[in-house]
A and B are shown apart, each in its own frame.
Chain A
Amino acid sequence: MEALISWISSTALCQAIQNLEWAVPTIQSVHILAVCVMLSSVGMIVLRLMGKAGLRTSVADTARRYVPWMWGALIVLFLSGLLLIIGEPRRELTNYMFQIKMFLVLCAITVIAIFQKSAIRNPDFWNHEPESGRIKMMAVGALILFFAIAVAGRWIAYVIMDYAAA
């Protein structure tokens, strides 16, 4: 890990991000705008699964409308997140909150992929009344997972590190 951190720190990109005062807040703002797209898409799907919004649209069509935007947001989140790691490798890589966040992100990507496949290939399951209790529980679980990622992301700045910076 130390070798990786010192290698990243020596790259021109890392030094450029550190030397430009506006770089980190700008990259973080782009990251948050992608979070806007991601969380609102998750929110619309969850509301549909809970029977709280968009009931005139099928679950499959709701998935077709929002899941591609989630993959798009994920690409922006990945690239902007990567730049933030390159800019401040120690702040991120050695931070246990960052590590928790990355684990939760992997879980979320799996959830998105499984939901997308199932909603479009298996539309009957999602409209099947006896399954509605299970579907609602899955929806709430997914919402909690995505909120937890956002909280962990914000909390990276507050984990006490061996150097001062939040």
Chain B
Amino acid sequence: MDVDSILQKIYDWPISEAIRTDYFWFPFFESIHVIAVTLVVGSIFIVDLRLLGITSNKKPVTELAKEVLPWTWGLFVIGVCAGVLMFISKATNYYNDEYFRYKMLFILLAGLNMAIFHLFTFKTVMHWDRDVPTLTGAKIAGGLSMVFWIIVVFCGRWIGFTVM
């Protein structure tokens, strides 16, 4: 079975049709998606700005990360669930949408950037956790993260204008 026929099957599910045709469910899940995404991106910005040395500089990097990022992950899961429900309502349209693909690509790049940061730069965090400027590597990771997530937000809003 090829991708198109799988997507068409998903499109034809009763739940997909309900979300697509009912006046309430799509904006409902979209509202949850928007609230979750804005909190995910905003909370990531809080940590990125600390990595860049712009805000929260009195607080150790590890302490800030510990109080912010568990919430980020929980909200990310909620955002993905709401996003999946939006996706299935018009699975074929989203899959073929250029901006949807860019959005997925930049979420992936943000994830890779985060993984590289954690695997390498973050290993030495005890040396730049507090009172001293963060490492150049940490600044690069924070800056890239902000750029990638800003692009994700732009692509997300653009999908609303291209998927009809």
Among A3-11, A105-113, A119-127, A146-154, the stretch that binds chain B is A146-154
Set of chain A residues within 8 Å of B42, measured between Cβ atoms: 35-41, 43
Interface residues on A, range: 20 to 34
- Can you name the residue of chain A whose Cβ is closest to the Cβ of B27? A158
Query: Given A32-B34, A150-B35, are A47 and B71 also a contact pair (CB < 8 Å)?
Result: yes
Say yes or no: A32 contacts B63, CB within 8 Å: no
Say yes or no: B68 contacts A44, CB within 8 Å: yes
Set of chain A residues within 8 Å of B35, measured between Cβ atoms: 39, 147, 150-151
Set of chain B residues within 8 Å of A32, measured between Cβ atoms: 34, 38, 153, 156-157
Report A139 CB to chain B, min CB distance, Å.
Answer: 14
Set of chain B residues within 8 Å of A56, measured between Cβ atoms: 63
Say yes or no: B67 contacts A33, CB within 8 Å: no
For the complex, count residues of B whose C-beta is within 8 A of A: 29
| Any A CB within 8 A of the CB of B117 | no
| Any B CB within 8 A of the CB of A65 | yes
Say yes or no: B31 contacts A150, CB within 8 Å: yes
User: At the interface, is chain A mostly helix, strand, loop or mixed?
Assistant: helix
Say yes or no: B71 contacts A155, CB within 8 Å: no
Query: Given A54-B67, A150-B35, A150-B38, are A37 and B55 also a contact pair (CB < 8 Å)?
Result: no
Query: Given A43-B71, A65-B55, are A29 and B46 also a contact pair (CB < 8 Å)?
Result: no
For the complex, what is the distance from the CA of A43 to the CA of B37, rounded to whole Å?
Answer: 13
Say yes or no: A158 contacts B23, CB within 8 Å: yes
| Any B CB within 8 A of the CB of A28 | yes
Say yes or no: A40 contacts B39, CB within 8 Å: yes
Closest 8 CB pairs of A and B: A40-B42, A36-B42, A53-B67, A36-B41, A151-B31, A36-B38, A29-B154, A29-B157
16 more A-B residue pairs beyond the given contacts A28-B157, A36-B37, A57-B59, with a C-beta to C-beta distance below 8 A: A25-B157, A29-B153, A32-B157, A35-B42, A36-B39, A36-B42, A36-B153, A40-B41, A53-B67, A53-B71, A56-B63, A65-B56, A69-B55, A150-B31, A154-B34, A155-B27
19 examples of A-B residue contacts, CB within 8 angstroms: A25-B154, A25-B157, A32-B34, A32-B157, A35-B34, A35-B42, A36-B39, A37-B42, A37-B45, A39-B42, A40-B46, A43-B39, A44-B46, A53-B67, A56-B63, A65-B55, A150-B35, A151-B35, A158-B23
